[in-house]
Amino acid sequence: MNPEVRTITEPDLPDWIRALHTGFLRSPAVSKEEVESRRTLMATPGGGYVAERTQGAFDAGRCVATFRSFAQKLTVPGGAEVAANAVSNVTVSPTHRRRGLLSRMVDTDARAAKERGDVVSTLIAAEYPIYGRHGFGPATWTTEWEVDVARTGLDPRYSGPSDGGRVDFADPAEVREHGPGLHERLRAVRHGVIDRPERLWLRNTGALVVDDRPWTEPFYALYRSPEGVVEGLLAYTCDDRWEAKVPQGTAQVLDHIAVSPEAERALWHFLLSTDLVAKVRTGYRAPDDVLPLLLPDPRAARVVTHADYLWVRPLDVPALLTARTYGTTGSLVLDVTDRAGLAGGRFLLEAGPEGATCVATRRGAELALDVAELGTLFLGDEAASRLAVLGRVSEERAGALAVADGMLRTARRPWCPDVF
């Protein structure tokens, strides 16, 4: 029999969590604490667990697939935010794979999001090939570097910022006090950043345990400007490893938020000059992060990960394209195909650095593309001309690709620092 796909109710939670664990290859055992904490989040407005947005597939009395979405805010080029439908916890048990369960859940969720007025759906894809067919395109990429500290050429006598600012260790309570405001400042200026609700600050600082994964306190450091304003936060762990009496510690950055160039430089310099740290793993940064160029020898920073990160699925093209600003002034007629029938149509975009208008039109198309490619172009990371080489954007009027590249691309690449 075809499994029933429906939104879950509270009594389904233990079974739903078991299926979630199974799909992600974690022990299927479900602790009372995990059920309780997810139940509490479900009962808390803004807790990220909304029963009506949490789906399960049930077969012979067992949950065999999971899917959840929640409200998110995504910063677009120019600093405005759009309402996003964030998708997470997607699993189909191996006993029920490739029978269309994911397709059913993703489709139901996208229609509900469209009806609610969300402008995009977003997700972080476990594997690249899963979501393109559902109208999602990779909109940000991420890079992680491993820095060989001895090779950097940084001055080993470094003893702190020379601009009058200071770096201090902080405890989790101070992070909860200063982190959210700092992150909001970052979100206001960096496209690709998503909001970080209170529950995430609680979770990241050990005050809220959601699943069975143990939390241990990392090192936290704050950068304060000469005026005493908190402008940067660093969180990292470090292993205590030695070989033949030589320290081999690797520091793993968990969070590095800076809202001024001084903070950005000072926090990297602080970590790279910490005694016993031989290597620094930067965590997932924007591909154009300045870190390598901060080093006298940038080759000391070796790329260890480079991959797609935030995927965007447009739901409302005019709302999407009028939310952002553009690099140059121009106009484009976009013919957008959407197999799911949610966001397709022909649109006239007239836009520039100050803003944009976008309306349905009968004019001749200048660029034709699938909705997933529009998701890829939206945050300014990719060039329409590159997608055209791949056969994924079609230039219907000579010169339209160059216009699109000038308008859509951004000087800095988008960055989504958070996983969800």
Ligand X SMILES: CC(=O)SCCNC(=O)CCNC(=O)[C@H](O)C(C)(C)COP(=O)(O)OP(=O)(O)OC[C@H]1O[C@@H](n2cnc3c(N)ncnc32)[C@H](O)[C@@H]1OP(=O)(O)O
Binding residues for acetyl-CoA: 90-92, 98-103
Q: Going edge to edge, which strands form the sheet with 166-170? A: 166-170, 219-224, 230-238, 249-258, 277-281, 141-148, 301-308
Helices (H), 158-256: 172-189, 198-204
Residues making up the binding site: 90-92, 98-103
102 lies in the binding site for ligand X (CB under 6 A)? yes
Q: Which of 49, 58, 70, 131 is catalytic?
A: 131
Nearer to ligand X among residue 55 and residue 88 (C-beta): 88
Map the footprint of ligand X across residues 24-63, applying CB under 6 A.
Answer: 24
Give Cα separations from 236 to 3, 38, 283 (angstroms).
44, 27, 9
Between CA 298 and CA 287, with CA 167 as vertex, the angle to 5 degrees is: 35
4 lies in the binding site for ligand X (CB under 6 A)? no
Residue in 5, 8, 63, 123 binding ligand X, rule: CB under 6 A: 123
Number of residues located near ligand X, criterion CB under 6 A: 23
Q: Are strands 277-281 and 249-258 parallel, antiparallel or unpaired?
A: parallel
Residue in 44, 79, 115, 126 binding ligand X, rule: CB under 6 A: 126
Half-sphere exposure of 251 (CA within 13 A, CB side): 25
Sign for the pseudo-dihedral over CA of 43, 46, 49, 55: positive
Nearest to 20 by CA among 10, 1, 34, 6: 34
299 lies in the binding site for ligand X (CB under 6 A)? no
Concerning whether 420 is annotated as a catalytic residue, the answer is yes
For residue 367, the minimal CB distance to ligand X (Å) is 27
125 lies in the binding site for ligand X (CB under 6 A)? yes
Residue in 2, 9, 95, 103 binding ligand X, rule: CB under 6 A: 103
DSSP one-letter code for 285: B
Nearer to ligand X among residue 91 and residue 204 (C-beta): 91
84 lies in the binding site for ligand X (CB under 6 A)? no
Say how far apart CA 379 and CA 138 lie, in whole Å: 10
89 lies in the binding site for ligand X (CB under 6 A)? yes
Map the footprint of ligand X across residues 131-170, applying CB under 6 A.
Answer: 133
Give Cα separations from 25 to 28, 67, 168 (angstroms).
8, 16, 39
364 lies in the binding site for ligand X (CB under 6 A)? no
Give Cα separations from 212 to 13, 91, 216 (angstroms).
15, 18, 13
130 lies in the binding site for ligand X (CB under 6 A)? yes
Nearer to ligand X among residue 105 and residue 403 (C-beta): 105
Query: Which window, 119-127, 144-152, 319-327, 343-351, contacts ligand X (CB under 6 A)?
Result: 119-127
213 lies in the binding site for ligand X (CB under 6 A)? no
Concerning whether 284 is annotated as a catalytic residue, the answer is no
Residue in 127, 240, 243, 354 binding ligand X, rule: CB under 6 A: 127
Binding site for ligand X (CB under 6 A): 23-24, 87-92, 97-103, 123-127, 129-130, 133
**What positions carry a catalytic annotation?**
131, 420
